[in-house]
Structure 1
């Protein structure tokens, strides 16, 4: 993927982030269902899960970053939308996911700081509706604080239910989230392209 070229809003890059340190967790499965839906809608997708997010705690006074952390930051900067999936650890976002999102602070001085102008699909998985709901609310709050746009639909997956909560209804919910992220990315990309084109026409006429 060449990050030096302007993004193609017709085929936006959607970054998936989350899961747990256990490969194939319910949270990772939920994330991949949403990403598959985004791909079916025409997006390019990349998933960073589990070991991909295993880097040190964020330390703003130490600018050095591991290869994994640098890759994460670079992909966040390059993407046009995200899907973030977290397990509910004691009713809130897991440390693995929160630690990764803390590194978005490195983008504070970027042309699009933090998660600005990006749609973010939020998914929470927990063994019970109480923890699922509180985790989803905390994740959406983090996305708001990072200037992202949570999609209208959030994913609440109760892993205490049969098939780890990933029944037909849950899958439909996750697929909708994937499509919503892509639709928003295309809409904002098209608007940016039109704005740029209008600015160029204005400059040409003025010149």
Structure 2
């Protein structure tokens, strides 16, 4: 898993509320246990027309969206069924972070375990971000995980919460198992100290 410290990127704005995991990655693409290639099917039902050609009206198909690593989504992002394929698809497209006012718990946990940072901001901060980046999506936004802040192009900042364990894992680029393996020496010392 790639570590996450500070990320500066332009932003893709998806002002849709209640985006569920079936919209993020439709069920027909869940037959694989491999992460590779899922980015091509991210938001497939919105991104492609019935004939399979790209929908020119969908935001991910616009030239200004290419290379963006931050998704600014509407309220209640990632709701619906549990599928780890949803953060896999977002990461596969190139996103490293999703910002919303609320992010569904199961999606949030799956995202954190795979290196995708879910950022929750207040409704007021979200409205401000939406207005700013809807007008100028090319403006850079910096996400600083160590300080848990968003830094806007105008110099203003917004803070966001994250639990300390998830933050540690993201900063070190490890999942839960990787974190445990990093403590192997300490675990071995503890086991050696136990009475036989």
Same fold (TM over 0.5): no
- Normalised by the size of structure 1, how large is the TM-score? 0.31
Asked which structure has the greater CA Rg, the reply is: 2
TM-score with structure 2 length normalisation?
Answer: 0.32
Bigger share in helix: 1
